[in-house]
Amino acid sequence: MYVCGVTPYDTTHLGHARTFVVFDVLARLLETRGQRVRYAQNVTDIDESILQRAARDKVSWRELGRREERAFLGDMRRLGWRKPDAMPHATREIRAMVRLAERLKRRRHAYELPGGLYFDVSTFPRFGQLSKFSKPKMRRILASQDDAPGQAPLAVDVLDGTSNVPRCATATSVFPSTFTAVEAISFIRITSARLRRARPRTA
């Protein structure tokens, strides 16, 4: 089970608690029913929000991220949350993400435009299969979001560049909110490799 993790730049809030407690309960429920569960939750320890907050506070972005991650883990422990089997950090996976992004581009699953590399959803026949949402419905959902004007302004299809379509609306699970689709896909695959090495939990 892969769940989008925290971006550690500020205090943990109720939205974090709700998300991670819900999936903690789900993992426990699956285990009580005899399912083996490998649970991964990423830490997006580098993104615009961390850099902007660090610049505002005149502190190192690394130290800011580490401090807020420690605070987050402390808060979650107090809620009785179990730490996932794997918690990969974005900063430790950048080289692997770049390699996978380059491979997607070589295979024509991604295209480059000023400002970024975009995953071409038209090359993925199962895009939207999990949500059962049509592409027009996804675009309507995306347009209703607060940050919609900044999403993939140059992409061939607005869905190509976004990772902010709600969690159920994409075919490839849950994306960290500031990742591009290419980064998200690579991060999910990297996390999957980590999970294969992690020991599954049983009831």
Which residue from 69, 68, 63, 75 is spatially nearest to 42, judged by alpha carbons? Answer: 69
A 10 A CB-CB count for 187 gives 24
Same domain, 40 and 84: yes
Same domain for 57 and 20? yes
What pLDDT does 60 receive?
95
Q: Are residues 171 and 108 in the same domain?
A: yes
User: Residue 195: inside a domain, yes or no?
Assistant: no
Q: Are 110 and 120 within 8 A, CB to CB? A: yes
Same domain, 109 and 78: no
Per-residue confidence (pLDDT) for residue 35, from 0 to 100: 92
58 within domain boundaries: yes
Give the residues of the chain that fall short of pLDDT 70.
Answer: 115, 145-156, 158, 160-203
- Shared domain for 84 and 118, answered yes or no, is no
Under 8 Å between Cβ of 185 and 163: no
Query: What is the number of domains present in the chain?
Result: 2
Per-residue model confidence (pLDDT) at position 201: 58
| CATH number for 71 | 3.40.50.620
- What is the reported pLDDT for 181? 45
The answer to the question of residue 144 being in a domain is yes
- CA–CA gap between residue 145 and residue 191 (Å, rounded): 27
Q: Cβ of 86: how many Cβ atoms within 10 Å?
A: 20
End of a domain among 56, 89, 122?
89
Same domain, residue pair 38 and 116 = no
Asked, for residue 74, whether it belongs to a domain, the answer is yes
Answer yes or no: do 21 and 67 share one domain: yes
In a domain, 17, yes or no: yes
The pLDDT, as a whole number, for residue 127 is: 79
Strand-pairing partners, residue 45, are none
| Cα-based torsion angle of the residue sequence 118, 94, 190, 155 in order, rounded to the nearest 10 degrees | -10
Tokens for 27, please give them: 């993992």
CB 101 within 8 A of CB 110: yes
What pLDDT, on a 0 to 100 scale, did the predictor assign at position 188?
Answer: 52
Both 84 and 29 in a single domain? yes
Instruction: Please tell me whether residues 77 and 134 are part of one structural domain.
Output: no
Residue-range definition of the domain harbouring residue 43: 2-89
Domain C-terminal end among 54, 89, 124? 89
| Residue 173, pLDDT score | 33
- Terminal C-alpha separation, the chain: 16
Whether residues 125 and 143 share a domain: the answer is yes
Do 90 and 46 meet the contact criterion of CB atoms below 8 Å apart?
Answer: yes
Residue 20 lies in a domain: yes
Q: Are residues 101 and 177 in the same domain?
A: yes
Last residue of a domain, one of 66, 89, 112: 89
Residues 127, 167 share a domain: yes
- pLDDT at residue 28 in the model: 94
